[in-house]
Structure 1
Amino acid sequence: MGPGTTVRWRRRVSRWRRTVLAALICGAVVLPLSGAAQPEVPAPPPAALAAPTAGTLEETYAANRANAAEASRMADAHGDRHRAAADRAMADPSRRLLAFDGRGAGLATEVLGDLAHADRVAVLVPGSDTSLDTYGRFRAAALALHQQLAARAPEGTVTAVVAWLGYETPDTVSTTVATTDRADRAAPELRALVDDLRAITGPGTSLALLCHSYGSVVCARAADGLDVTDIALLGSPGTGADSAAGLHTRARVWAARGADDWVEHVPHLSADLFGTTVGFGTDPVSPDFGARVFAAGDGGHSDYFDPGSLSLTNLARIALGETAEVTHD
């Protein structure tokens, strides 16, 4: 495929994506606003645990691993070998699970690093189509960030990454992805996570939220008064707010979009219809929004945490508080 053919192909893909996304916005207006059906996979209820502290983290991790192991056995007996394998991986003795729920699409909060002694913590908030069945790709992003933080952190600085699949994400091809409904339901859970992390790490630890795609809508809905230092919006379709100031946060608000990210073509519309908000308003990388726009390189919508990428380097700088070193377009 020659250069000219490649360019034409990318243009056709971009036009196709624009058409599909515009149709989804319109569909959200005229169709009933309901969540996509999730697979009915049998699993035990989550382990009944007290709020974690620095002193009880190991017990928390162990209890959630045991719950994941039981979920794996139940999924296997049900004949869902894919979910059984995903749950079994979660139950590995090396995994640090702050929370786990194998029911439905599944929820999990995983820690990479020494959370109890961390000076800097980055929380990853995923976008659409993230579940226990697709958790591997989300974890790969968290691992890449954790490795980058460990490599860049000043000597003596302890870092940790929290991969937070703490809400039921919408499907990319659904009316739900065009509304704030899932984000509105997820926001209290994200605020509760931040409260738990503060209780574990103490007030001296810096927390940064790195929010991808629909996850940026979740972070925006949770931002008001949230005790974090930075909020980074990656490949965001919008936040539901007109501006960074509208998030009502003291945190630094960052935004980035890769040059090949199809989300650029999402219509930046917002309307209140049928008791929900359809569309997400102002483009977070536009001057009108007022975020600190940083360089994300030439990557696409799923490439922000690729090892060696400019976007990952800048995200590590943000999480480490190296704001003067963050590069801009």
Structure 2
Amino acid sequence: MAPSPPRSHPRRNLPRAVRTLLAALVIAAVTVPMAGVARPSAVPAPAPAALAPLRAATAADLADRYAVNRGSVLAAERMATRHGDDKRAAALRGLADPARHFFSFDGRDGGRSVEVFGDLSRARRIAVLVPGAGISLDRYGRLRAGAVALRREMGDGAAVIGWLGYETPDTVSRASVTTDRADAAAKELRTFLAELQRAEPNARTSLLCHSYGSVVCAEAAPGLTVADIVLYGSPGTGVDNVAALHTPATVWAGRGGDDWIAEVPHVQLRLPFVTLGFGTDPVSPEFGARHFAAGDGGHSDYLKPGSVSLENIARIVSGRAPAEEGRHA
């Protein structure tokens, strides 16, 4: 859920020549080496405590799991403090709040976490949020804010899970326009969803995929037994159409009117040793997804309280049809 560029007017009104230039700049940014740019060294963290597979999402079993993972967060916080990384240590202290509930946590290699919002033991509707580029333990606030807003919008009997189960690419990087990170993430997502289904076999589960998270969901989609796959702010999925996802789920797609992702070229450019881009635009008729109105928001506004997109995503996850454009509560 990367930040939107500064907005002065909707991107859809830009002249074609300017849109072409923007597309060229995106490709140049990810194919030309960026001299002098170095990734920060990883903050050390201990291996997390081993977790037994969750067979049933009872309140007692979940409480035990949350307590174990809180211990792993605190162990990572202590190591970050000893390492002298005050920013990471502060972020981890926030995650260790007893009111926070982590289904899993691993502070190594930038961090992985799966956080539960709501009472999973009683949930009959579950939304799993898969974030896009630029999200990490140090930049976690936007994912959490969106999950909290969606949980509130969905009401009683619902739970939202923020699935930061992979190393997201930087917003402007070659990794953000290839499937490399998604290939590795998809296996982890499938494993998590299988465990969730065993623990909550009667819940209606939907997969919500933002930006690069759409690519992760597409890689994981074949055979997934989820009710819906919702793509929003998507640069593409790496496949040509819904049929190529090989999923029984209902596939939805929406884009805000001021989302800069619309200007990213929906192509696949095959170069030696790498393919850039993700192909067909998910909101296009050619892709074949069901469309939902997402209002006029930008790339980071889909789960913003009071937004058209938040209302419609909550309706979809609850098994209801999204409201038509201009007809919202």
Query: Does the alignment reach a TM-score above 0.5?
Result: yes
1:15-52 C-alpha deviation (Å, 9 max, x unpaired): 888645533435655769xxx84531011112211112
Q: Which amino acid aligns with 1:249?
A: T
Partner Cα distance (2:310, 2:80) in 1: 35
Structure 1 residues 9, 284: closer, same or farther in 2, change over 3 A? closer
Q: 1:306 to 1:122 in 2, by over 3 A?
A: same
Of the structure 1 ranges 292-301 and 17-26, higher mean CA displacement relative to structure 2 is found in 17-26
Alpha carbons of structure 1 residues 13 and 169: separation in structure 2 relative to 1, 3 Å: farther
Aligned to 1:260: 258
- Aligned partners of 2:203 and 2:233: how far apart in 1? 27
Instruction: Give the aligned residue type for 1:190.
Output: L
Match for 1:265: what amino acid?
Answer: E
The 8 Å contact of residues 11 and 259 in structure 2, kept in 1 or not, is answered as no
Q: Which residue of 2 aligns with 1:91?
A: 96
Q: CA deviation at 1:271?
A: 3.4
- C-alpha contact (below 8 Å) 1:145/1:305 kept by paired residues: yes
Instruction: Give how far 1:57 is off.
Output: 1.6
> Alpha-carbon deviation of 1:292?
0.6
Q: Which amino acid aligns with 1:282?
A: T
Mind listing any 5+ residue stretches in structure 1 that lack a counterpart? none
Which residue number corresponds to residue 302 of structure 1? 300
Residues 22 and 266 in structure 1, CA contact (< 8 A), matched pair in contact too: no
Residue type of the alignment partner of 2:229: I
Please give the secondary structure, in 2, of the residue aligned with 1:173. coil
**Deviation (angstroms), 1:321:** 0.3
Match of 1:326 in 2: 323
Residue of structure 2 aligned with 1:117, choices 116, 119, 122: 122
The 2-side partners of 1:100 and 1:181 are apart by 23
Show the counterpart of 2:158.
159
CA contact (8 A) 2:44 2:83 kept: yes
Q: CA RMSD in A?
A: 2.5
Distance 2:232 2:64 in 1: 34
Offset at residue 224 of structure 1 (A): 0.5
CA-to-partner distance for each residue in 1:227-254, whole Å, 9 max, x for gaps? 1000000010000010111111110100
What's 2:141 paired with? 136
Give the match for residue 82 of structure 2. 77
Task: Please point out which of 233, 243, 246 is paired with 2:241.
Answer: 243
Aligned residues: 314
After superposition, the Cα gap between the structure-2 partners of 1:16 and 1:129, relative to the gap in structure 1 and judged at 3 Å, is farther
Distance 1:249 1:167 in 2: 22
Matches within 5 A, 1:269-280: 269-280=267-278
In structure 2, the partner of 1:212 is: 210
Matches within 5 A, 1:146-185: 146-150=151-155, 158-185=157-184
Give ranges in structure 2 of 5+ residues lacking alignment: 1-6
Secondary structure, aligned partner of 1:133: coil
- Partner residue, 1:127: 132
Aligned counterpart in structure 2 of residue 101 of structure 1, from 101, 106, 111: 106
